[in-house]
């Protein structure tokens, strides 16, 4: 997989492959990519524009427990997703990010 700076364009990505040597990606832009799980993504900051999510909303968006630290999810921090499709992935993050995802999913369902 080739990166152009911190931009990935028109790739099919097994998300776990991005995290073989790190727990988080920061400041990436993904454009017209297909992101494939299985996995749980932690999103914080950044944006989602024109994205599609495959699967039932109730099983896809996970509210965070009241804690300072969570373990396990792959973190995308301040990353921008444009025209991406997410397959076999769940999501967690701050309440405002999860609300944005719920609104996007309602439009794309």
Residue 36 clears pLDDT 60, i.e. is over it: yes
**Measured between alpha carbons, how far is 80 from 59 in angstroms, rounded to an integer?**
23
**37 belongs to a structural domain:** yes
Is the residue at 36 inside a domain? yes
Entry pTM: 0.85
Given a cut of 80, is residue 93 above it in pLDDT? yes
User: Is 39 within the bounds of a domain?
Assistant: yes
pLDDT tens per residue, range 45-80 = 999 999 988 888 788 888 877 766 777 889 999 999
Q: Output b/e per residue, 54-88; b: 16+ Cβ within 10 A.
A: eeeeeebbbeeeeeeeeeebbbbeebbbeebbbee
Average predicted confidence (pLDDT) for the chain: 86
**Residue 54 lies inside a defined structural domain of this protein:** yes
- The answer as to whether 10 is a domain residue is no
- Residue 37 is part of which domain span? 23-108
Number of domains in the chain: 1
**So what's the pLDDT on residue 106?**
57
User: Greater confidence, 2 or 97?
Assistant: 97
Residue 69 lies in a domain: yes
H/E stretch holding 96:
helix 95-108
User: Is 50 within the bounds of a domain?
Assistant: yes
Please enumerate, as own/partner, the contacts of 64-70 that have beta carbons within 8 Å and a separation of 24 or more: 64/92, 64/93, 64/94, 70/42
């Amino acid at each position: 997989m080739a990166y152009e700076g911190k931009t990935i364009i028109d790739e099919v990505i097994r998300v776990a492959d991005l995290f073989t040597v790190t727990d988080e990606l920061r400041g990436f832009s993904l454009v017209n990519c297909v992101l494939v799980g299985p996995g749980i993504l932690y999103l914080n900051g950044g944006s989602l524009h024109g994205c599609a999510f495959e699967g039932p909303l109730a099983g896809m968006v996970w509210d965070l427990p009241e804690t300072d630290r969570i373990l396990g999810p792959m973190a995308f921090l301040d990353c921008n997703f444009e025209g991406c499709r997410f397959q076999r992935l769940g999501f967690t993050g701050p309440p405002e990010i999860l609300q944005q995802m719920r609104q996007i999913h309602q439009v794309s369902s």
